[in-house]
């Protein structure tokens, strides 16, 4: 099943007209080395800033949601590329709100990262959707009704166990000064397989213990 989904995504990139894999002109749409799919732990975002701002996301029982899909170089990343591709329509943005629960976030991610992908807005969101459906969220993190403490290794190991072909150097856990913030998963540019995160992993969380707030509706 994993190979089938990767093959579909690779075909989607080809049909969408993404540029060749080899990056030569930095900062141009389609010129990058790998993808990073960033999955945000919504309860941590809400506890840190979202609740105080009254974000609509924080009124719903979200667990892991998509923060973004980012074209990356082996060192650094492009952003805000001068793309001529059509941005996502309002309807296409609305259709993503079950996994990227803010129109503002989706539009920001398109402007900053999607414009560098070599894809149209519609194709970029389709790739995000397919990747989110492909990546298996570990069962213990799907509906966390009580807060818990975890280690970065525990989170990494859970995702590795749930996703065939994923290794520990192909995932990076992010945190603030005490909370789990994100899990970032790295993929080849043609989306044919997972790939070592390299610089992204080196910037990962180094705390021994992380706090995971409960999904909304759970214990306080």
CA distances from 69 to 16, 65, 99, 206 (A): 16, 12, 12, 23
Backbone angles phi, psi at 133, to 5 degrees: -70, -30
Residue tagged 């990343």 (tokens): 77
Distance CA 70, CA 72 (A): 6
SS3 59: helix
Residue 199 is a catalytic residue: no
Please state the φ and ψ torsions of residue 70, each to the nearest 5 degrees: -120, 125
Spatial CA neighbour of 182 closest among 36, 34, 33: 36
- Contact by Cβ (8 Å): 42, 63: yes
Task: Give the DSSP letter of residue 194.
Answer: B
CB contact set of 93 (below 8 Å; sequence gap of 6+): 103, 106, 107, 125
Rounded to an integer, what distance in angstroms lies between the CA atom of residue 118 and that of residue 98? 25
Catalytic site residue 156? no
108 is an active site residue = no
Q: For 17-162, where are the alpha helices, taking DSSP H only? A: 42-45, 51-53, 90-94, 103-112, 121-134, 152-162
- Of residues 67, 156, 170, 182, which has the active-site annotation? 67
**Active-site residue (options: 74, 108, 113, 170):** 113
- The catalytic residue positions are 67, 109, 113
């Amino acid at each position: 099943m994993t190979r089938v989904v990767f093959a579909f995504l690779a075909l989607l990139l080809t049909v969408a007209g993404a540029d060749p894999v080899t990056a030569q002109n930095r900062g141009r749409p389609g010129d990058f080395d790998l993808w990073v799919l960033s999955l945000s732990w919504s309860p941590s975002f809400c506890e840190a800033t979202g609740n105080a701002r009254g974000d609509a996301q924080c009124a719903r029982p979200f667990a892991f949601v998509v923060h973004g899909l980012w074209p990356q170089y082996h060192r650094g990343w492009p952003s805000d590329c001068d793309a001529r591709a059509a941005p996502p329509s309002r309807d296409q943005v609305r259709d993503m709100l079950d996994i990227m629960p803010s129109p503002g976030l989706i539009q920001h991610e398109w402007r900053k990262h999607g414009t560098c992908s070599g894809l149209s807005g519609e194709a970029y969101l389709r790739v995000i959707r397919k990747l989110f459906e492909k990546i298996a969220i570990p069962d213990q993190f799907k509906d966390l009704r009580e807060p818990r403490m975890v280690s970065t290794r525990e989170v990494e190991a859970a995702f590795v166990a749930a996703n065939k072909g994923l290794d520990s150097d192909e995932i990076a856990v992010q945190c603030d000064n005490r909370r789990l913030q994100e899990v970032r998963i790295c993929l080849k540019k043609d989306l044919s397989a997972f790939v070592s995160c390299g610089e992204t992993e080196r910037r990962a969380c180094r705390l021994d213990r992380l706090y995971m707030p409960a999904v909304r509706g759970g214990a306080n």
